[in-house]
Amino acid sequence: MKKALPLFLAAVVAGAVVAWSMYNKPHKDYAQEEVAQTWRAEDLVAAFAEAPDDMQAQWQEKVVEVTGTVRSSSMQGVVLNPGVVATYDEGHAPEVAPTGRVTLKGRLVGFDDLFGEVRIDHVRLSN
C-alpha cells in the first residue's frame, strides 16, 4: 500500500501535465499550409456528387483553393455557386462581404449529400 500511493500520485501528476500541454497546444494555421489542389467550385461539387466516398477519402482534411461566384455572403462565411459552403477562419472575416468571383483557401471538411454541398472551413480570401 505504501508503494502504491507514490506511484498513483506520480501518474496523476504526469496525466495533469500531459492534459495541460494538450489543452494549451497552439491551433494549426491552415493559411500557412501548402495548397493540395486548386478547384473551380463547379468542378468540385460535380466530383463530389459523382463519387463522394472516393473524393472524401482523397481530399478530406486537405487544404484546397476554390474559385467560384458568390451566391450569398455573411460575416461567418460565404456560399459559392453551385454549392460550396465556406466558413471563415476565426478572426479573419473580411471587412466587406465579398461579391462576384472570389478565390478561397481553406480545409476541405467533406460533402453534405443531403444538401449537395461541399463544406470548407478555416477559409481566408485569396484575392
The pLDDT assigned to 4 comes to: 86
Q: How many CB atoms lie within 10 A of CB 109?
A: 18
Residue indicated by cell numbers 478572426: 91
The cell numbers describing 6, all together, are 507514490
Residue indicated by cell numbers 500531459: 18
Whether the CB-CB separation of 62 and 123 falls below 8 Å is answered with: no
Question: Is 0.95 surpassed by the pTM of this model?
Answer: no
The pLDDT assigned to 91 comes to: 85
The pLDDT assigned to 6 comes to: 87
CATH of the domain spanning 30-125, picked from 2.40.50.140, 3.30.479.10, 3.40.47.10, 1.10.10.60: 2.40.50.140
The pLDDT assigned to 25 comes to: 83
Mean pLDDT, consecutive 10-residue stretches, the chain (127 aa), reads: 84 91 84 93 96 94 96 94 93 88 96 94 89
Spell out the alpha helix ranges (H) of 1-127.
4-23, 41-50, 52-59
Closest by CA to 79, choosing from 111, 117, 112, is 117
Residue 104 one-letter amino acid: L
> pLDDT by residue (tens digit) across 39-62?
999 999 999 999 999 999 999 999
Question: Do you find a cis peptide bond into 26, omega within 30 degrees of 0?
Answer: no
